[in-house]
Structure 1
């Protein structure tokens, strides 16, 4: 029996196949986080008066949510920041399943932008709600959930110390490949906190060769 049947996930074949794809590759804590991201993104959308398949494409929202951390899998671990590696892997997966380029682009943006603060919130709901849903699952700062809803979600998708697992995955990738955590990025900040390293100042960055000599 489908363990997720009691929760309002999309039932399209692409949604089910993509959930299986991520579940086979991601740490269970990251997979559960990605699935909860959809539930919380959808809830937060409802608080804004947005209804699935009326105000946004519910399948696209689900695809962006379930794929948003796929850059933290072995298959997604390339040489870019994990959210960009994940966006590229998501696009390859969807393209291989015949998804049209315009729909692939929405998911790519949702995955690539989900760490970009307020920027994705200015985009279409299928992108914005990935960011808000993921943030709510890390720290539920926002409208309260209906009574018992979090218990229902966690019974099917237990947390498994998700915030710890996500932190360690980001840092672990970046320690092996420092280019994945450039200074002043979120991955870079997590590595800085982990290692105690210091970042160069703006002036020090501008003095590095090659330089225009402004300093």
Structure 2
């Protein structure tokens, strides 16, 4: 279960090299308060493999934003892009025993934290939608530019080809995976989603991605690799 509070998480102001520093923030995390707080929150909640995946998703989404939707890579919108990426799988640890599917639980958690930071409601909604639909093919790519960026970046990180010319380059992949090693992210994420649905079947409504993963687990007892439906 992830930490919950009435307000946003806080980050240490100590030097990263200080013995009292709580969190070392990667250089790629934007320097605004919203992004730093979001990273602080996610880094204390997510499995390291999912945290690394989320950071790589941000790097890919930022690159794609620079090409397709430059406004989302601008200083006043980059924090929202980062929040959508770093929180997109936070539902794997937050609300694990709620009846909502992990995508919606994560979107709600992100919205809660953004509202605590006084982010305007229309921006909160943009991030909520991007997270809630990130496992919904054909919808995420078209419902909003931010949702498209998150969806395509997630696909790219899981080695699914996307219809964007020369994206990503082999060099981008090598750099991103050197910065944030994969750590068997596909298995960790798939297992986390299934574990929730076993406890609360309501989290896997028919035809949803969680339900597909759960069905695959049931149909392949004893399989210990990456979920066959991932």
TM-score if structure 1 supplies the norm length?
0.82
Give the Cα separation in 2 of the matches to 1:115 and 1:147: 25
CA contact (8 A) 1:61 1:127 kept: no
Query: Residues of 2 paired with 1:123 and 1:58: CA distance?
Result: 19
Q: Using CA pairs below 8 Å that are at least 6 residues apart, which structure has the higher relative contact order? A: 1
The equivalent residue for 2:26 is 4
Pick the aligned partner of 1:180 from 200, 203, 209.
203
Matches of 2:144 and 2:187, distance apart in 1:
30
Q: Tell me the SS of whatever aligns to 1:68.
A: coil
Q: Secondary structure, in 3 states, of the residue corresponding to 1:57?
A: helix
Structure 2: gaps of 5 or more residues? 1-15, 17-23, 221-230
The root-mean-square deviation of aligned C-alpha atoms, in Å, is 2.1
Q: Is the 8 A contact 2:25 2:39 kept in 1?
A: no
In structure 1, the residue matched to 2:64 is: 44
- Give the CA deviation at 1:184: 1.6
- Aligned partner (choices 153, 158, 162) of residue 133 of structure 1: 153
Quote how far apart the aligned CAs of 1:183 are: 2.1
Residue 167 of structure 1, CA deviation: 0.5
Q: In the TM superposition, what is the alpha-carbon distance from 1:72 to its structure 2 partner?
A: 0.3
Distance 1:49 1:99, change over 3 A: closer
**Which residue is 1:28 aligned to?**
48
Aligned CA distance change for structure 1 residues 121 and 36 (closer, same or farther; 3 Å):
same
Listed as ranges, the gaps of 5+ residues in structure 1 are 198-215
Q: Over alpha carbons, which structure has the higher Rg?
A: 1
- 2: CA distance, partners of 1:147 / 1:4: 22
Deviations 1:141-178 (A, max 9, x none): 24343453323222221110001111100111101111
* Aligned-residue offset at 1:140: 4.5
Shift in alpha-carbon separation, 1:144–1:122, aligned structure 2, 3 A: closer
Tell me if 1:53 matches 2:81.
no
